[in-house]
Structure 1
Amino acid sequence: MSKNKKTKDVDFASKAVPADSRKGLVTMFMIMLGFTFFSASMWVGQQLAEGLDFWGFVKSLILGGVILGAYTGLLGYVGAKTGLSLDLLSRRAFGEKGSYLPSAMISFTQIGWFGVGLAMFAIPVSKELLGGSDAAMWGLVILAGVCMTASAYFGIDSLTIVSYIAVPLVAVLGTVAMVMAVQQGDGTIIDQFAKSSGSLTIVGGAGLVVGSFVSGGTATPNFARFAKNGKVGAITTVVAFFIGNSLMFFFGAVSSIFVGGNDIFEVMIRLNLFYLAVLVLGLNIWTTNDNALYTAGLGLANIFHQKKKPMVLISGIIGTVASVWLYYNFCDWLNILNCTLPPVGIILVMDYFMNRKEYEKENPALKTVNWFSVAGVVLGTIVANVLNWGVASINGMAVAAVCYMIGQLMPGTRGVVNEH
């Protein structure tokens, strides 16, 4: 009995989450809200503040939030309803070996963002606290890398603890700093916002909002699968994404207005709140980074047929070693790669709603590769990166949906190739 307890897969990397391991609304809300506290979203907040007036900024947040909420909400519902991770859903929608494509894409991007997040913490803190030496920077990179890898290693329970600690502190302290900064400026927040020069439209701003976290949002099933039912999974996801993302955008916007930067850390430093600034920055990055590494571990476990924990360790080591290089050289590439994941998400959603009975089976027969799903991701990614019209992620999802539908409607394409 004790041996079984020791080897129990508490993160259910290879099967659906059972009913007795599901979590309630409050816990799921904290997990999902921590997931959305993505520091890079503050960069988008800066862009929005520089290109729109206050009301244009708000309208872009609402429009982009509705689109992003609909996308992640559907994924949250599917994840909670089935209890399956993104990778297990991919096995059904893409085929057993076809699932390696989305697993590789999500793992690669999340390891990349994990590394960038480490550098986003270590570089500014080492400059402010330790003179900016390389030794100090790498010391902080390694310390943060170990802590964040550990929380992902120990799984969903560890992620839950981090979220319960970090979410209230980041939300409250960050908001207080934002209000203090606005009060020190000239006039109201409306007066302080940059007047639009016509360089950014509301639709363009909404596109930035959607693009800021649509790739990370594709991993929603990895966490929403722990919700007690589909309703809780969808509601907590939609509300958390809207609140969490909006808060990050406001942090970035106020930072742009107050210090000409894009990080609430800079604002808090200017307000002489140094230690609180380090705390908020560290916790803010931690809540996203451990989720990113957790997702990468699940993806690599699917590809290499290994346990999740060693895959998390490998991902953490790669992300930590490459963090500074990723920060200075790879952000643009990561933004391009972000366009690869929305086509995956829309195919997962469509496959569930079009084949619900198949998802009621615990061990369904799987195709080896669903080539129409694979083609949808490849073509959707190309279109999203090449077409200079509309919202890139939505363009990619539209193309992927069409490819998938063609496969569904063609006779015989749903046939089973690989029986288990």
Structure 2
Amino acid sequence: MTSAPSETAPQESVEPVDPDYPVTPVPRSARRSALSISVVLIGFTVFAPTLMAGASVGAAFGFSEFLAVLAVGSLVLGAYVAAIGFLGARTGLTTVVMSRYTFGTAGSKVVSLLLGGTQVGWYGVAVGSIGQMTALAFGWEGGWRPALVMIAVSALMMLTALYGYEGMYWVSLISTPLILILAFWITGRALVEVGGIGGLFSLAPTASMSWAVAVTTVVGTFASAGTQAANWTRFARRGRDAVLACAMGFVIGNGLMVFFGAVAALAFGEGDFTTLLLGMGMIGWGLFFLFGNLWKSNADAAYAFGVAGAEIASSPRKGPFIIGGVAIATVLALTGVQEHIVGYLSWIGILIPPLGGVLIGDWIARWRGGQPPLSSLTETVRWQALVPYLLGAVAAWASNALALGIAPLNGIVIALGLAWLLSSRTRAKDAAAA
């Protein structure tokens, strides 16, 4: 096995067409600072639909119990994403391209379909949320006008994704403050409503949700996107820069958004975030800030399913796959996909984390000393990865259904442990045969 430098993988001989390097390692000359990566990831996770997820969770618990749910979910998500982000910085590769080493050159297509497909769904949720709030702001009773809004904003978001990393960085600098202003504004109104922090602890929940579903929902807010953190951390100069950026984005940024949504839901007794804004008389301002935020987040989602499509087709260009994914996501938005956000997040929290667990376990077993060039890979499908993934996903599903522990964590641990064991044994056998 050929060793690679400690922070980046060997370069392929053919120069990529796309300057974002969707299917090849990011060269040292294109690497960015920890601050730059943090800006992009915070802009990614400071995401308005996470306020909606936080509202649904917060309405189901007392405030002290909600804080415990949030802490557990954020720690699981943060540790998991930091590990994936570290691998991205070390290899210089996107998550879906890294999966070629673990799942095989054909098995990686399954990973790309899962990760790209869930991001298409997230894109649809965001576009649908904008259409729904626009209709409320202007008093539209359905019809063609919300549909035109969805199509128009979807096209604008797509253009930013087509521009690549640089476009997402600059939009992050603009959009992140907008949604934070909205979130702090709502939280301030909520605290006034209940008489301060002390009043939150005395409120009774207005809905019901099990601990298992609640933690899975918190993890599910960014389980799919977090598994693809390598798409951005591959631009980091060092592994520790990637870990820091992931902590900033997925623990602090995402955690704050869940917290803000939950506080508002507890204070006003409303788990539906759109209805909550309407009741507070903030639908117009909410729409303005929401659009600014979702513009950036959806550009990230489109970028993610663009590079996933490029991996499936082994194409050096992500553009055609961004356009195709946006078209599918817009259709989903027009059919009301945003109405099913909690169930959607629950399934993401079950199906996606075991993928990352397999990638981490296989890397520990086989690739810590470096990775050979992508062009040297010959295995098409590795059962040593598929079996741990399937068993991890089944374990996560059973945990969620039976309320046994934390479903995403169970899936990650089982998939990681089995992948490490099977890959270690395979490596030992190959060494003995050699």
Normalised by the length of structure 2, the TM-score is 0.86
Q: What residue in structure 2 maps to residue 315 of structure 1?
A: 325
**What amino acid is the match of 2:104?**
G
**CA 386–40 in structure 1, closer or farther in 2 if over 3 Å, else same:** farther
Match of 1:124 among 100, 118, 133: 133
In the alignment, is the contact (CA less than 8 A) between 1:380 and 1:397 conserved in 2? yes
Alpha-carbon distance in 1 for matches of 2:284, 2:147: 20
Taking a change above 3 Å as real, the CA distance of residues 313 and 208 of structure 1, as seen in their structure-2 partners, is closer
Identify the match of residue 391 of structure 1 among 406, 422, 426.
406
Distance 1:45 1:362, change over 3 A: same
Q: Is the 8 A contact 2:44 2:297 kept in 1?
A: yes
Q: What are the Cα deviations for residues 131-180 of structure 1, in whole angstroms up to 9, with x where unaligned?
A: 23321110111011101111111111111111111112211332123213
**Does the C-alpha gap of structure 1 residues 252 and 357 become closer, same or farther in structure 2, counting only changes over 3 Å?**
closer
**Residues 37 and 285, structure 1, Cα contact 8 Å, conserved in 2:** no
Structure 1: which 5+ residue stretches go unaligned? 1-5
> Are positions 1:74 and 2:83 aligned together?
yes
SS at 1:14's partner residue?
Answer: coil
Q: 2:387 is matched with which residue? A: 375
Match of 1:282 among 246, 271, 291: 291
Specify the alignment match of 2:6 in structure 1. none
SS at match of 1:177: helix
Give the one of 353, 358, 367 matched to 2:364: 353
Bigger mean CA offset, 330-339 vs 143-152: 330-339
- Count of matched residue positions in the alignment of Structure 1 and Structure 2: 410
Q: Which moved more, 1:277-286 or 1:339-348?
A: 277-286
Partner AA of 1:195 in structure 2: A
Deviates more, 1:324-333 or 1:287-296: 324-333
Look up the match of 2:66: 57
Measure how far apart 1:286 and its partner are: 2.4
RMSD: 2.7
Describe the shift of the 1:42–1:173 C-alpha distance in structure 2 as closer, same or farther (beyond 3 A). Answer: closer
**Any idea what SS the aligned residue of 1:355 has?**
helix
CA-CA distance at 1:265 after TM superposition: 5.6
CA distance 1:207–1:411, shift in 2 (3 Å): closer
- The equivalent of 1:3 in structure 2 is none
Aligned to 1:405: 420
> Which one of the candidate residues 98, 120, 123 is aligned to 1:111?
120
**2:51 alignment counterpart:** 42
Q: Deviations over 1:217-255 (max 9, x none)?
A: 111111111122111111111122112222211232133
Structure-2 change in CA distance of 1:192 and 1:412 (3 Å): closer
The residue matched to 2:19 in structure 1 has which SS? Answer: coil
Offset at 1:21? Answer: 1.3
Cα distance in 1 for partners of 2:156, 2:61 equals 38
Work out the CA distance in 2 between the residues paired with 1:258 and 1:49: 10
Structure 2 residue identity aligned to 1:302: E
Change (3 A) 1:317 1:65: same
The runs of 5 or more residues in structure 2 that have no matched partner are 1-14
Shift of 1:326: 5.0
After TM superposition, give the deviation of residue 347 of structure 1 in Å.
Answer: 1.5
Residues 195 and 377 from structure 1, CA distance in 2 versus in 1: closer, same or farther, beyond 3 angstroms?
same
Matched AA of 1:355: R
Identity of aligned residues (%): 27
User: Would the alpha carbon gap of residues 262 and 36 (structure 1) be closer, same or farther in structure 2, given more than 3 Å must change?
Assistant: farther
* Letter aligned with residue 371 of structure 1: W
Q: Structure 2 CA distance, aligned partners of 1:369 and 1:253?
A: 43
CA distance in 2, matches of 1:226, 1:347: 22
The reply to whether residue 335 of structure 1 matches residue 350 of structure 2 is no
Whether contact under 8 Å (1:258, 1:267) holds in the other structure is no
- Find the residue that maps to 1:9 and give its secondary structure: coil
Aligned to 2:335: 325
Following TM superposition, by how much is the alpha carbon of 1:182 offset from its aligned partner in structure 2, in angstroms?
1.9
String of CA shifts for 1:39-93, please: whole Å, max 9, x gaps.
Answer: 3322332243233322222232222212211101111111112111011110111
**Maintained 8 Å contact 1:126/1:140:** no
The code of the aligned residue for 1:46 comes to: A
Cα distance change, pair 190–266 in 1 and its aligned pair in 2 (3 A): farther
Task: Identify the match of residue 33 of structure 1 among 42, 49, 56.
Answer: 42
Determine if the alignment matches structure 1 residue 153 to structure 2 residue 162.
Answer: yes
- Answer whether contact 1:177 1:267 (CA < 8 A) is retained: no
The answer to whether the Cα contact below 8 Å between 2:126 and 2:338 also exists between their aligned partners in 1 is: no
**314-323 or 37-46, larger mean C-alpha shift:** 37-46
Cα offsets for 1:96-143 (capped at 9, x unmatched): 111011101011111111112110111121222252332111011101
For the 8 Å contact 1:64–1:206, the answer to whether it is kept is: yes
CA contact 1:112–1:326 (8 Å) conserved in 2: no
